[in-house]
Amino acid sequence: MPFSVLISGIGSIGSRHARNLRTLNTDQLIVCDPDHEKISSLCKELNCEGYGDFSQALAKGKPDVVFICSPTSLHLPQAILAARAGCNLFIEKPLSHSMKGIDELERISSKNNLVTMVGCNMRFHPGPKKIKELLQEGCIGTPLSARLQTGSYLPRWRPDQDYRKNYSASSEGGGAILDCIHEIDLACWYFGKATLLHAVSLPARNLGLSVEGLAELLLQHVSGTLTSLNLNFVQRDERRFCQIFGTLGSLYWDMERKQVDHYGEDGKCVSSLPVEPPHFTLNQMYIDEIRHFLDSVATQTETHCPVSAAREILEIALNARHDVLQPLSV
């Protein structure tokens, strides 16, 4: 794809995007990170340009597209600089750790006719994609209630790093609610805009952290659907699932079982649909996500999750973190 792309931040997700972009034959790839060893290693591997300073990378690289994969607290400042330079924007989730600066980013992006997207890779996973397809077909009638859960163990996320020094452990931009924001995004993708009714969280004290490691959220969507979410990174076994029941039946997806089960009006299983194609790997959803974004840039069309949509998801997450109930002491 004939784009010059700058990636800011080459941690695990930034490096993944860089390697995937190379497979998509981008015109020019530029990476930026304050860690000179990381820059040197990745530039050698991918034969790309590297910078230690973001402003310098913008000025000298003159990219068409910027991927913001830096720590959450830097997302908005860097995105605003890139938008002022006329760059289309892919911002990793979460959009930010606060609402400050989002209005300015939207204003500049609109003025410069920029295509924006905030990371929503789970929308490109075949499981949630099949759930969305079945809901659109109306196979369970009107959705009444849903339960979404994601649970995993933070120390295993990046085994080569000390999780206590990672942004996930930061009181500013970390915690399970922001880190596991994909389930909030999926709920709103399935059922429309939502209001947070209630939230409660527990600190990850078993990991030696004060940030929330587990949270329960209750949302009410404009469609009337009630959604409960369990978001955590303190669970030893990794689980991700979705359960939805409606006026005409139910849908169940479990990431481990790799299928969607559909139950009909009589309470019996109508179908069990395998959703992952042969030889599927999780990296494919990241490739599909990038391809969708770059296609949207090429055609100047809106992405699945522009900044305007992502700000609504972020607002729910921030309300859950700060405005409803602070983490309880246990």
Predicted confidence (pLDDT) per residue in 37-69, tens digit: 999 999 999 999 999 999 999 999 999 999 999
CB crowding 197-235: b at 16 or more within 10 Å, else e: eebbbbbbeebebebbbbbbbbbebeeebbbbbbbbbbb
Are the C-beta atoms of 57 and 8 separated by less than 8 Å? yes
Whether residue 326 is predicted with pLDDT greater than 50 in this model: the reply is: no
| 320 token code pair | 């859950």
Q: What is the pLDDT of residues 141-187, one digit of tens each?
A: 999 999 999 999 999 998 888 888 887 878 778 899 999 999 999 99
- Number of residues assigned to the chain: 330
Residue 39: φ, ψ to 5°: -60, -50
**What is the residue range of 129's domain?**
123-281+312-323
Boundary residue ending a domain (68, 89, 114): 114
Rounded CA separation 225/143 (Å): 6
pLDDT at 327 over 60: no
Q: What's residue 330's pLDDT?
A: 33
Give me the CATH number covering residue 91.
3.40.50.720
Q: CB of 31 within 8 A of CB of 43?
A: yes
pTM: 0.94
Segment 222-245 mean pLDDT = 97
For the segment 308-317, the average pLDDT, to the nearest whole number, is: 98
How far CA 36 is from CA of 11, 126, 163, 227, 296, in Å, comes to 12, 37, 21, 44, 32
Structural domains counted in the chain: 2
The answer for residues whose C-beta is within 8 angstroms of residue 87's C-beta and 6 or more apart is 6, 58, 63, 64, 65, 66, 114
Q: Is residue 286 part of a domain?
A: no
Look at residue 325 and tell me whether its pLDDT is greater than 60: no
Backbone angles phi, psi at 114, to 5 degrees: -95, 145
Quote the mean pLDDT of the chain: 94
Residue 298 pLDDT level (bands cut at 50, 70, 90): very high
Which residue type sits at 278?
P
Query: Residue 1: what pLDDT?
Result: 60
Domain boundary among the residues 114, 147, 171 is at 114
Would the pLDDT of 134 be above 70? Answer: yes
Write down the pLDDT at residue 169.
79
Q: Give the pLDDT mean for 245-269.
A: 97
Say whether 1 sits in a helix, a strand or coil. Answer: coil
Final residue in a domain of this structure, among 54, 79, 114: 114
